[in-house]
Amino acid sequence: MRMLHTMLRVGDLDRSIAFYTEVLGMRLLRRNDYPEGKFTLAFVGYQDESEGAVLELTHNWGVSGYDLGNAYGHIALEVPDAAKACADIRARGGKVVRDAGPMKHGSTVIAFVEDPDGYKVELIEHKLA
C-alpha cells in the first residue's frame, strides 16, 4: 500500500489552484469536471502521482465555503529553510500565520501558512544529518 492523496474541499477552485501552484510551487497535475455530479477535481503536487502523494482539491459547484471544524490539523511540507520559505511565500501573496522558529517543546524549526480556505500548511525545516 501507499498514500495516494489527501482531499480538501475548496470554495474557489481557481483561487486554490493559484495558491498551491504560484505561492507554494506545486504543479497542476490534472483537472476534471464532473457535470452530472456538479463538482470539479484538481490534483496538485510536487511530483507525479505515480511518484508520491498529492493534494486533491474538490470544488462542489455552488458552494463557496466550508466550516473547517476543529478536527482537521494541517498539511506538512519539508523545506530547506523555513524563514526563507516564509519570506518567499509572503512575496508571492501568501499568508504566514506563524513565522519560522523552533516548535514548542522541541528544536525542529517550523512555520505555518494558511491557504485561501483557511487550511493550515506547516513548513518543516529539513535537518541536515
Give the Cα separation of 39 and 80 in Å (integer): 36
Report yes or no on 81 lying in a domain.
yes
| pLDDT tens profile 28-70 | 999 999 999 999 999 999 999 999 999 999 999 999 999 988 8
pLDDT of residue 111: 98
65 lies in some domain: no
Q: Which residues form the domain of 19?
A: 5-60
- Catalytic residue (choose from 51, 78, 122, 125): 122
The DSSP-derived string for 50-91 is: TTS-EEEEEEETT------TTT---EEEEES-HHHHHHHHHH
Q: Is 122 a residue of the active site?
A: yes
Residue appearing with cell numbers 486554490: 16
How many domains does the structure of the chain reveal?
Answer: 2
Q: Are residues 56 and 92 in the same domain?
A: no
Task: State the pTM of this model.
Answer: 0.92
- Examine the domain organization and report whether 55 and 19 are in the same domain: yes
What's the average model confidence in pLDDT over 114-120? Answer: 96
Domain identity same for 23 and 47: yes
Kind plus residue range of the DSSP H or E element containing 105: none
